[in-house]
């Protein structure tokens, strides 16, 4: 499902015009991105949590040059679904 599909579904279910729905969806995604960029998790009860995970520093290999490189610790975004969300997908 793409962002356009989501906008169409919301438009059908609510009767709100597509431009307003698209603006709202994009504003939601921007708010989530900004929160995660500021190391703040986003909790949506009954849906799930957008969280920031910290990856530890590790050593990797550059196969083409046959050298080792160090990848510094960094943050990555992750999604953890709520229990009710997981149960409904399993059915």
pLDDT of 91 strictly over 90: no
**Confidence (pTM):** 0.79
**Contact partners, residue 70, CB within 8 Å, separation at least 6:** 57, 58, 59, 60
**Residues 84, 10: Cα–Cα separation, whole Å:** 21
- pLDDT (average), residues 30-43: 96
Per-residue pLDDT of 6-29, as tens digits, reads 999 999 999 999 999 999 999 999
Q: Which candidate, 78, 57, 81, places its Cα nearest to that of 68? A: 57
Average pLDDT score, the chain: 95
């Amino acid at each position: 499902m793409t962002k356009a599909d989501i906008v169409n579904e919301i438009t059908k279910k609510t009767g709100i015009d597509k431009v307003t729905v698209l603006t709202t969806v994009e504003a939601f995604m921007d708010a989530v991105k900004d929160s995660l960029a500021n190391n703040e998790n986003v909790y949506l009860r009954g849906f799930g949590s957008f969280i920031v995970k910290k990856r530890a520093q590790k050593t990797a290999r550059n196969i083409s040059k046959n050298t080792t490189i160090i990848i510094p610790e960094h943050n990555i975004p992750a999604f953890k679904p709520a229990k009710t969300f997981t149960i409904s997908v399993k059915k």
